[in-house]
Chains A and B, each alone.
Chain A
Amino acid sequence: MRNLETDVLVVGAGGAGMYAAVEAARLGSRVILADRGLIGRSGATVMAQMTVAAAMGEPADDSVEAHLADTLQAGRELCEPDLSRLLCEEGLECVREMDTWGVGWARAEGQLTPVMAPGHDRPRCVYVDFLNTGPAVSRTLRTQVIRSPLVQRVGDLCITDLVVHEGRCAGAVGVHLTTGEAVTIVAGAVVLACGGLTRLYARNSASSNMGGDAYALALRAGAPLIDMEFVQFFPIGHLAPRMIGMDPIMWDPFRYKLGGRLLNGLKEEFTHRYGTEDGGRYTITRDQATYAIYKEVEAGRGSPHGGAWLSFEHLPPEQLRAAFGPVVDRLAKNGIDLAKTPIEVAPIAHYHMGGVAVDTRMATVVPGLFVGGEAVGGANGANRLSGNAITEAFAFGRRAGASAAQAVSVLAADAVADPVASASRIERVRAQAQRLIEATLTPGTLPTEANTAAAIDELQTIMSRKVGPFRTEAGLREGLDGVRALATRFHAAPSFAPGAFDPVWLDWFDLRNMTLVAETVTVAALERTESRGAHQREDHPGLDPNWTLHLESRLAGPTDAIALVQSQANPQIALARVPVNAGVAA
């Protein structure tokens, strides 16, 4: 067993986690930045070839108020306005700070060249050429992390549970993947920045690390989640021909720069049939485009692989080359020549609007537990505006890091006032953490023929078919039964102690979190009998003003961590209705 101690533990080293670590260290905290993969290469940020929304006001006028108005409009009245404002305001400061750190936002003749993206009232989205936004952002933040001597970077560390001691989040436990060893971390404060839940779906645009770890960790620590039913499907995810080495959502920047025509299987334009003129300008919002493509496929007018065509055939090859340079060659290696042939696209799970309930300090109801990035619920309501994800990673990561550092400074003052009590508290937290991880890693009775990898595939199929963008009560009930049956089948732990880079144990931890989070999404989707933004109930069409509220999910029954590990029953979710703009973590 390895026992670590720090001021602030940051779980997840994507955009939000790295920003949180840099900020907490800047304010004087010692930080452990932990990730189950490689530092700065895990999660969603590094995969984002897309754009970053911020009211930079260059070259043309813009304002935080205008960005906020578009964010709220996209959110279909479910945004927590204070969080949305923070996204737009602090996000802008961070985008400027990233500029001073040399991220390299695209410029022409010294001026930024923001592009127009769907749902914005003006060009507001900066980027790094060519399709390099995420990697450039990750590299820049990683450099800042490395320059912070107070930050210790620890990769290949899978956090399995938080430690709540005397009502306060006081650290975490996990497994060192490289060796299979148990790890405890005593911390003054914890920041969860390990992303959303898109891995619950078979076709998704994020990494295999995004199976809802942040949500499951928060739930088991006693922090409620909100808006879990709102999963954003990106309408034009790559479908065919099979393309490797590229981000499946790469067609969005192509459309920002070049337009491109969205066509059905008969090569007709079709989005106007669903009340939205697109006309190659690409102003249709994500939920509308997803709906239009699904309906065309349902009507038998899909492309051969069951999506829509995206065509750039009307553009001269020189224009494609000028806009995307070397990317054109990478496409050629995949056998794709956009000047000659269209490609097929279809909706793909992309982002999750819901998440952990926090206040504007990114504080949860559990003292000492903070959240950053996509894991935060509420800022984007029922539908996220294009370009707001990395902005939110920056803003909420930085704010969470600052708040965690502040919480630690209060503890530090207590420690100075009474060092004996403080040392004794740390010993008690460590002992509790050791008991928890020992209980967690005790071999169980999972049959050896139970294939944990196939079970994850099965869960993804259930969620895609039954809890996708278009939902019915019957389908959701089948989905819930399927998820619960899977959770029951894989409830017992593997029958052997974890070894070095143990894929069965890692699957099992993933299944434990993914089935819990899948249940949360499904029960909330069943409860919300209306259609709004990314949540579309075919049996309850149309927005119902009575549903302008959040569904809050909590764990029902025992929340004691060791009891949960040893329990023979699946944890159950209790839902509550919470008004919008009432301070969700109050």
Chain B
Amino acid sequence: MKSVAQLKVWRGAPPEEGHYEQYEVPFESGNSVLDGLRYIRSHFDRTLALRFACINANACKECMVMVDGKTVYGCTTRLEAREMRIEPLRNKDWIRDVVSEIGPPDERLPEA
């Protein structure tokens, strides 16, 4: 059964202020928030920054975002036929759109 989720997605990159963009994302029962964000990239705006590797298996742990103020994995949270607010993690440095710095500090690129 097809439904539509209203995804209100935080956009922008420091140092500018972010803003919300609204997207209407059609989905089938069982689709994940990550499915919805990937749909936005393919259908509406390729410049939406996302991070994920495993897509489906909840193995890579890269797709952590906040949905309606709660920290979740995008791949294990299901889309619903309502407005859903998607933001980067609040307790990590904000990089771009819904991507935040999640790499452990000792696994980042050294200065030189």
A507, B46: Cβ atoms under 8 Å? yes
Contact with B along A147-164 (1 / 0, CB 8 A): 000001111110000000
B81 part of interface (Cβ distance < 8 Å): no
B61, A38: Cβ atoms under 8 Å? yes
Contact with B along A440-470 (1 / 0, CB 8 A): 0000000000011110010000000000000
- Inter-chain CA distance A245–B58, complex, in Å, is 5
B76 part of interface (Cβ distance < 8 Å): yes
B110, A152: Cβ atoms under 8 Å? yes
A46, B112: Cβ atoms under 8 Å? no
- Inter-chain CA distance A39–B61, complex, in Å, is 11
Assuming A4-B110, A155-B108, A244-B56, is B29 touching A503 (CB within 8 A)?
A: no
A208 part of interface (Cβ distance < 8 Å): yes
A111 part of interface (Cβ distance < 8 Å): no
Q: How far is the CB of B47 from chain A (nearest CB, A)?
A: 6
B60, A503: Cβ atoms under 8 Å? no
B60, A157: Cβ atoms under 8 Å? no
Q: Which of A251-259, A277-285, A494-502 contacts B (4 or more CB under 8 A)?
A: A494-502
- Inter-chain CA distance A243–B109, complex, in Å, is 35
Assuming A37-B62, A503-B46, A504-B46, is B109 touching A245 (CB within 8 A)?
A: no
B30, A242: Cβ atoms under 8 Å? yes
Contact with A along B40-71 (1 / 0, CB 8 A): 01110011111111111111111000000000
Residues of A near B106 (CB, < 8 A) are 153
Residues of B near A241 (CB, < 8 A) are 30
A63 part of interface (Cβ distance < 8 Å): no
Residues of A near B47 (CB, < 8 A) are 503-504
B110, A154: Cβ atoms under 8 Å? yes
Q: How far is the CB of B111 from chain A (nearest CB, A)?
A: 7
Contact with A along B66-110 (1 / 0, CB 8 A): 000000010110100000000000000001110101111011111
Residues of A near B101 (CB, < 8 A) are 178
A246, B57: Cβ atoms under 8 Å? yes
B29, A242: Cβ atoms under 8 Å? yes
A499, B57: Cβ atoms under 8 Å? no
> Within the complex, which residue of B46, B61, B78, B110 is in contact with A244, where a contact is CB–CB below 8 Å?
B78
Residues of A near B95 (CB, < 8 A) are 178, 500-501
A42 part of interface (Cβ distance < 8 Å): yes
B6 part of interface (Cβ distance < 8 Å): no
B52 — nearest CB in chain A belongs to which residue? A208
Assuming A38-B102, A242-B31, A451-B42, is B55 touching A208 (CB within 8 A)?
A: yes
Could you tell me how many residues of chain A have their Cβ less than 8 Å away from some Cβ of chain B?
A: 48
Q: Quick one: which of A153, A241, A244, A502 has the most chain B CB within 10 A?
A: A244
A212 part of interface (Cβ distance < 8 Å): no
B96, A499: Cβ atoms under 8 Å? yes
> Within the complex, which residue of A46, A157, A454 is in contact with B109, where a contact is CB–CB below 8 Å?
A157
B60, A42: Cβ atoms under 8 Å? yes
> Within the complex, which residue of A41, A153, A451, A501 is in contact with B59, where a contact is CB–CB below 8 Å?
A41
Q: How far is the CB of B89 from chain A (nearest CB, A)?
A: 14
- Inter-chain CA distance A178–B62, complex, in Å, is 13
Main secondary structure of the interface of B (DSSP, over half): loop
Residues of B near A135 (CB, < 8 A) are 59
B21 part of interface (Cβ distance < 8 Å): no
Q: How far is the CB of A153 from chain B (nearest CB, A)?
A: 4
- Inter-chain CA distance A183–B103, complex, in Å, is 18
- Inter-chain CA distance A207–B110, complex, in Å, is 26
Assuming A156-B108, A245-B76, is B49 touching A41 (CB within 8 A)?
A: no
Residues of A near B4 (CB, < 8 A) are none
B30, A46: Cβ atoms under 8 Å? no
Assuming A208-B55, A501-B96, is B31 touching A38 (CB within 8 A)?
A: no
B59, A134: Cβ atoms under 8 Å? yes
A3 — nearest CB in chain B belongs to which residue? B112
- Inter-chain CA distance A41–B111, complex, in Å, is 23
- Inter-chain CA distance A64–B66, complex, in Å, is 50
Assuming A453-B46, A501-B96, A504-B47, is B56 touching A176 (CB within 8 A)?
A: no
A154, B32: Cβ atoms under 8 Å? no
Q: How far is the CB of A385 from chain B (nearest CB, A)?
A: 23
A247 part of interface (Cβ distance < 8 Å): yes
Q: How far is the CB of A177 from chain B (nearest CB, A)?
A: 8
19 contacts between A and B (CB under 8 A): A2-B110, A2-B112, A3-B112, A39-B104, A46-B60, A153-B106, A154-B109, A178-B101, A179-B109, A207-B54, A207-B59, A241-B30, A244-B56, A244-B76, A245-B76, A246-B56, A247-B56, A501-B13, A502-B96
User: What residues of chain B have their CB less than 8 Å away from a CB belonging to chain A?
Assistant: 13, 28-32, 38, 41-43, 46-62, 73, 75-76, 78, 95-97, 99, 101-104, 106-112
Q: Which 4 A-B pairs have the closest CB atoms?
A: A242-B30, A453-B41, A245-B76, A207-B53
Given contacts A179-B109, A207-B59, 17 further A-B contacts (CB under 8 A): A4-B112, A41-B60, A46-B60, A153-B107, A154-B108, A156-B103, A156-B108, A242-B29, A242-B30, A244-B56, A246-B56, A248-B56, A334-B30, A499-B13, A499-B96, A503-B41, A503-B47
